[in-house]
Structure formats: structure tokens, C-alpha cells
Homo-oligomer: A and B are copies of this chain.
Amino acid sequence: MSSTNPGATGTTGRPPSDGSTRDRIRDAAVLRFARSGFGASVRTIAADAGVSPALVIHHFGSKEALHRACDDFVLRWIVGSKRQNMGRATGGQLLQVMAEVDEYAPLLGYAVQSLQAGGEVARAFVQHMIDDAQVYTREAVADGIVKPSVDEDARVRYLTLSALGTLLLTLTLDPPEDPEDFAAGIRTFTTEHYLPMIELFTQGFLTSRRMLDDYLLYLSDPPAGTRDATTDGDVAADTTAAPDPETTSEER
């Protein structure tokens, strides 16, 4: 407990050998986690950083704490990068741009590994992408480029989760030869899905409005019970209740 207090050593009053080794270990861990997932061993990370495994524990207390430190670091990067990222999060093109920049690639890899493992970083990463997309979508709607939605928040959330989920699944199903080369993976993803995506975005999928209208009618006048547990309070905005749609989805 007392050893995990970085900087501010009290008696000595200043950083004795600056925090460089600790940082080097954390950087190596981020890189290794991004490359090999969170199953990577402390020994491997120590070897990457050129130190002994014991030192890793000495500085961070445990592997779990190291993981948390990496999460914090990447999270801080995500928040920081928000300031200088210029738009277009919808189609995953923001990711494309990021993956091309070698400096960002490992951090992106870390985020992807987190998405597969499903930790706090994953949720935060997704939430930030949703927030960004919300801004850009709002602008695009105001500019008349994008059609308005019955529930803007739900739409932007769905579109973001859809884009990220599709990317994730594509990467999992046929991983690129070099797992580090996320640029290649995202490029493949883009070339494969760009056409059907803009086609869907342009003309939709269904020929009639019936299914949508039926469901909207159903929402405004729910038939009876079927009350479900809502997962989170911070997501649904307009939909007062969205029970099992099976009853209205009488397609074909």
C-alpha cells in the first residue's frame, strides 16, 4: 500500500531517479497487452521492458494493478485524443485514420483487445466514440446531410456499436497475418463493407414503411404487461418502453 505512492516521497521531497523505469514497464505492458491480449505473462512484459519480473510487481503491486495502470493510461490517451480528432466516426473511418498513424496503432490495439475482453476501457472507449458520433451526427442532420431520427441517441448508439462490433467480429473471424497491423485489418474491413454500408445508408433496406410505422404505433400504445429490466439508465432517451417487438414484426 505505502509503496504504491508515486512521486511526492515526502521526506526526500523530489523524484529520486525520475519515474522512467516504471513508465517503461507500463509502456511495455500496454504494447504487449495490445499484441497478445491480457493473458500475456508478467515475465514476458518484464523481458520486453528489460527488467526482472520481480521489479514489475515491486512497482505495481500485482499484475491486476498493472492492468489497471495500463487502462488508466490508455483511457487518458482516449480522453486527450478527443481534442484533436476531426470527425467522421460513423463509418469507422476515424479508426482507419488512427490506424494509419504508427504512433496510435498500439493504443488502438489495446482498445480492441479491451473490446474483446470487455473491461472498463472498452466501455469508456465505446462511450467516447458514441459521444463524438453524436456531435457529428447532430451537425450533419442540421446541415441536411443526414436524415433526422425518431430517437437520435438510440440511433447513434446503435450505429457506433454496429460499426465497432462488425469490425471486431471481422478481425476475430479472419485475423490479419500480422496481428499488430491494425491498419491492414481495418483496410480489409473497409473495402469489404463500404459498398453495402453506404448503399444501406442511402436507400435503406425495406421497401415499405409499414414495419417502422407499426412499431412506432406499438410504442405509443403498448398492448399490455411484458415489462423488462432496463440495463442502464443513461442510454434510452425517447423510448419510454420498448418491450418484445415480436408481436409487431409480422413480416412476410
Contact = CB atoms under 8 A, between A and B. Distances in A.
A232 interface: yes
B252 A172 contact: no
A126 to B, nearest CB: 6
B154 A195 contact: yes
A199 B209 CA distance: 9
Interface string A204-229: 11111101100100010000000010
A70 to B, nearest CB: 19
A193 B155 CA distance: 8
Interface in A144-192: 144-147, 149-151, 154-155, 157-159, 161-162, 164-170, 172-175, 187-188, 190-192
Given A126-B173, A165-B162, A201 B199 contact: no
A150 to B, nearest CB: 6
A162 B166 contact: yes
Interface string A24-68: 000000000000000000000000000000000000000000000
Q: Give the 5 A-B residue pairs with the shortest CB-CB distance, closest first.
A: A165-B165, A165-B169, A158-B196, A201-B205, A118-B172
Contacts of A88: 251-252
Instruction: Tell me what chain A mostly uses at the interface: helix, strand, loop, or mixed.
Output: helix
A157 B68 CA distance: 37
A235 B192 contact: yes
Contacts of A198: 206, 211-212, 215
A251 B197 CA distance: 15
Nearest to A118: B172
A116 B172 contact: yes
B242 A195 contact: yes
Interface of A: 87-88, 91, 93, 96, 115-118, 122-123, 126, 139-140, 143-147, 149-151, 154-155, 157-159, 161-162, 164-170, 172-175, 187-188, 190-209, 211-212, 215, 219, 228, 231-232, 235-236, 239, 242-246, 249, 251-252
A205 B89 CA distance: 14
Given A146-B205, A192-B235, A201-B211, 10 more contacts: A88-B251, A115-B172, A147-B204, A151-B195, A154-B196, A155-B200, A158-B166, A165-B168, A191-B244, A195-B239
